[in-house]
Structure formats: structure tokens, C-alpha cells
Homo-oligomer: A and B are copies of this chain.
Amino acid sequence: MTRRHEQIAEALREAIADGRHPVGGALPSEAELAERHGVSRGTVRQAVSALQAEGMIGSRQGARRVVLSTAPSQSFAELRSFAQWARAGGHTPGGRVLESVRCAARVEEAALLQLAPQSQVLRVLRVRTLDGEPVLLERTVYAGWIADAVQRLPDDCESVTQSLYDDTGLVFAHGEHHIDAVAAGTVDSQRLGVRRGSPLLRVRRTTTTPEGRPVESSDDRYRPGSVVFTVRNSTQANPLARLGRD
């Protein structure tokens, strides 16, 4: 990365991670960082605002910035992609397509994907495994214009996100996630190996391209104990979300 502000942000993340700036301690002033890195104050502010958005530091006018956490928050990619998240945590992702059918979109699906009513969509049921164990059941609806590319993927495709990018250049850029809890239904219990009625963490998400065009909408159900969703937030900065192992 040649961008100066990214370099400075990375240097600060490392300094925080290895304890040179302990939790509860203060960061150097903007002026000092600017001089040390030979950049203007604006560039330093760009760097620290990234850490602030990640929830690692907090700041108040008039006082030095404070270290809040040593853990760097994870990226959108890791929130979006099961495979990328799994690998980031040192686990082995796997998966298998159980069903894949084309049909007309239901009313609410067409609305979520911003499609005309009755448009063709692709409905996929997929189980995902972590180190061989099933932990997630995905019911995904893909917009018709990407359906062919999705169906060309192998049934045990490890990373759908990566494969779609490689094959078609498609980038997932934005997502909205609704999280709640539901009782396992018959299909859920069979596929995830839990009792019917036992609690599952449900994430309903819709993902779009950089231009804001919806690509997919999914109902994902996680086996409890396997996955925790973490959100860090702040009055001042922008919160950040990540998916983590319990």
C-alpha cells in the first residue's frame, strides 16, 4: 500500500497490538505523528479516523486519543463471506449445495432484490461446515442476471464470493444484515444436527454491488455455540461489525 495514511494507520495498529500503546493509554498527538512520519496533519487525521471507525481508539476534543481495544476489527469481506471469515479465524471452511432451483420471485423477494414482480430468480439451499462440522444453513435467492454464473459453480464450492469475482468480476460491496433468533424447523434440525425447536441465530442479509444493485438475499441460520456476532460502536466514531468464533 503506497498511501501514506494507510501506512500510518497500520503502524499505529501494530503499535497497539504489541503493547507499545496499551489499552487505556494515550496515543501521540497529531502534531507528533505528523512530524514523525513526515506528513501533514490532515494525513495523520485520515489515519487515526480509520482506527476510530474500527473501534480501536476513542477521541475527545482537547484530550489525547485513547486506546480502547487491541483487537483489530474485521473487514466487510469477512462479514460477507463465510469462507473468508473462517480462514481468518484459522478454520477450514466447507460446504455443499443441497438444492438449486430456478423459479419466479415472490413478492417480497422481488422487492428486496429490486426486480420486477415474477422475475426469474435462483433459489439455493446450502450447508456450510467449519472444520467438517455443519454450522450454517443458507437459503439464498440470487437475482436472475447472476443465476447462470452461480449455477456454473461446483456444488462444493468453497468461496462463492471469490469464485463469482474470478468468473464474472462481480464485487459485493454493501450489505444489510438483520439478526434475530428462531427455533429450528424440520429442515434446519436435520441439516445442522440439532433438535427441532432448539435456538438458532438467524441473519437475513441482502448484498449489493458497488453501484447499489442487489445481487442476493439470504436467510442464514447458525448453530448456537459455533458463531457469535460482534459489534463495536461508539458515540463518536462509526461502529464496526464482525463475525467471530465463540
Residue of B nearest to A77 (CB): B235
B-contacting residues, A187-246, CB 8 Å: 197-202, 208, 210-213, 222, 224-225, 227-241, 244, 246
Contact A229 B178 (CB under 8 A): yes
**Contact A180 to B246, CB < 8 A, known contacts A174-B233, A233-B241:** yes
**Contact A212 to B68, CB < 8 A, known contacts A55-B174, A240-B238, A240-B239:** yes
Is residue A164 contacting chain B, with contact meaning CB distance below 8 A? Answer: no
In the assembled complex, the Cα of A197 lies from the Cα of B236 at a distance in Å of: 39
Contact B182 A179 (CB under 8 A): no
Contact A180 B227 (CB under 8 A): yes
Contacts of A246 in B (CB 8 A): 180
Residue of B nearest to A182 (CB): B199
Contact B178 A234 (CB under 8 A): no
Contact A210 B175 (CB under 8 A): no
Q: How many residues of A contact B (CB 8 A)?
A: 60
Is residue A66 contacting chain B, with contact meaning CB distance below 8 A? Answer: yes
In the assembled complex, the Cα of A66 lies from the Cα of B180 at a distance in Å of: 29
Contacts of A228 in B (CB 8 A): 178-180
Residue of B nearest to A225 (CB): B180
Contact A176 B210 (CB under 8 A): no
A112 to chain B minimum Cβ distance, whole angstroms, is: 12
In the assembled complex, the Cα of A31 lies from the Cα of B55 at a distance in Å of: 31
A65 to chain B minimum Cβ distance, whole angstroms, is: 10
Is residue A151 contacting chain B, with contact meaning CB distance below 8 A? Answer: no
A42 to chain B minimum Cβ distance, whole angstroms, is: 8
Chain A interface residues (CB < 8 Å from chain B): 23-24, 53-55, 58, 60, 66-69, 75-77, 79, 114, 171-183, 197-202, 208, 210-213, 222, 224-225, 227-241, 244, 246
